[in-house]
């Protein structure tokens, strides 16, 4: 991995209704041109550490993701293949755009370059994505599949791609998952040995919440209260269309799974909060009882600064550890950067999923 994120876009190519062979031929031609235009041909290196395949459902999504992935080329040089699948088009076709990106390796000073391929698969072509992707993959490198929207775990398109995927990236805030959707993600993780990790961008957005909550119990005097949880209330932004409580359920699942307990009295409450994206956790409150002494632990986004939360613990009539905590959720760029960091399984995420699924199923019957 290279430290620099100062990427520059190089040569590009676009083609309508192309053949697969045209794409690989143009990739090679662009590299030859890139090398030929360098002032010092020996200082320009073609490099990738992974194949990143992104499945989107629209050209607009593909263009947005193209920018995000391009910004990360300096940290995660990859052969990026961004798919826009439009199966309802009458005529099958492949529309393609290729972008090259170069950045300076701070160690050697060499210009390191990699490619991004945008493929619009229209009509019947959208049902055969594996045959499109496979010839474009760089050999002997892991393949990460970022599936935007709701993964249809039983669809042929999904199962075809997941067979040779080393890491699946999803965003559970983007498709309002049911408890069953979380269970299927866990099942996929456990059954598919080649899929070394399932990474949820929605989970990554919660990492600072985890850190801030854990800080309460760094205090030895407060730690025993974890054994006497009585209730938990998590509020999240409702949005205009009844946002999913998935992020709130994952936060509750994280704490209970870390304690090895089944969820008790948990309330997931939607509140109108236009200052943050729908589904975003906005407050956490934990009520405990230890040796007949009640306590509560609070984190709430500040009204005037949603990047920070007001945090404090209340034990009897005494307030402890009052502070301001950095809580801003990671941007899509930052979250994807984290998701691309290696192929290790996220065990806390896996262990949180059954509890999060249980809480979502509770919400569904209210």
- What are 52-80's pLDDT values in tens digits? 999 997 888 888 888 888 888 878 889 99
Residue 29 is predicted with a pLDDT of 86
Task: Give the whole-angstrom CA distance, residue 267 versus residue 245.
Answer: 11
User: Please, what is the Cα angle at 4 between 62 and 78, to 5 degrees?
Assistant: 40
Assess contact for 71 and 7: CB atoms under 8 A.
yes
- The low-confidence residues of the chain, meaning pLDDT below 70, are 1-11, 37-44, 107-109, 192-196
Q: Can you tell me which residue has the tokens 């799974």? A: 257
What ranges in 198-346 are assigned the alpha helix state H?
Answer: 201-204, 207-216, 246-259, 332-339
Radius of gyration of the chain (CA): 23
Residue 262 is predicted with a pLDDT of 92
Phi-psi region of 89 (alpha: psi -120 to 50; beta: other; left: phi over 0): beta
| 218: phi then psi, degrees, rounded to nearest 5 | -70, -20
Find all residues with CB under 8 Å of 334, minimum gap 6, and list them: none
CA-to-CA dists, residue 85 to 93, 267, 362, angstroms: 11, 39, 34
| Helices 59-71 and 332-339, axial angle in degrees (round to 10) | 70
Residue 9 is predicted with a pLDDT of 62
pTM of the model: 0.89
Task: Give the whole-angstrom CA distance, residue 28 versus residue 244.
Answer: 44
* Partners of 44 in beta bridges: 111
Three-class secondary structure of residue 125 per DSSP: helix
């Amino acid at each position: 991995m290279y430290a620099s994120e100062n990427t520059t876009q190089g040569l590009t190519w676009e083609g309508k209704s192309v053949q697969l062979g045209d794409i690989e031929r143009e990739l090679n031609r662009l590299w030859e041109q890139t090398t030929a235009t360098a002032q010092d041909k020996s200082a320009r290196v073609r490099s990738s550490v992974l194949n990143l395949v992104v499945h989107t459902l629209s050209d607009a999504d593909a263009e947005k993701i193209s920018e995000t992935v391009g910004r990360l080329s300096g940290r995660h040089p990859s052969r990026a293949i961004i798919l826009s699948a439009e199966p309802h088009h009458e005529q099958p076709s492949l529309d393609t755009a290729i972008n090259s990106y170069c950045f300076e390796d701070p160690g050697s000073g060499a210009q390191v370059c990699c490619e991004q391929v945008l493929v619009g698969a229209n009509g019947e072509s959208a049902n055969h994505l594996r045959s499109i992707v496979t010839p474009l993959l760089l050999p002997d490198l892991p393949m990460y599949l970022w599936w935007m929207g709701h993964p249809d775990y039983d669809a042929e398109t999904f199962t075809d791609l997941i067979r040779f995927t080393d890491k699946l990236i999803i965003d559970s805030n983007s498709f309002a998952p049911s408890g069953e959707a979380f269970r299927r993600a866990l099942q996929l993780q456990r059954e598919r040995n080649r899929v070394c990790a399932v990474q949820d961008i929605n989970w990554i957005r919660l990492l600072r919440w985890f850190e801030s909550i854990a800080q309460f119990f760094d205090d030895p005097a407060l730690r025993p209260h974890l054994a006497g949880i009585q209730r938990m209330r998590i509020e999240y932004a409702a949005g205009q269309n009844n946002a999913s409580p998935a992020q709130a359920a994952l936060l509750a699942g994280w704490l209970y799974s870390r304690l090895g307990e089944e969820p008790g009295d948990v309330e997931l409450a939607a509140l109108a909060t236009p200052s943050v994206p729908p589904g975003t956790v906005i407050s956490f409150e934990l009520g405990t009882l230890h040796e007949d002494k009640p306590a509560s632990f609070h984190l709430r986004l500040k009204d005037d600064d949603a990047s920070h939360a007001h945090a404090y613990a209340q034990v009897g009539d005494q307030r402890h550890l009052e502070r301001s905590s950095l809580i801003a959720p990671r941007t899509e760029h930052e979250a994807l950067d984290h998701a691309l960091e290696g192929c290790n399984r996220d065990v806390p995420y896996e262990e949180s999923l059954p509890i999060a699924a249980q809480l979502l199923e509770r919400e569904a019957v209210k």
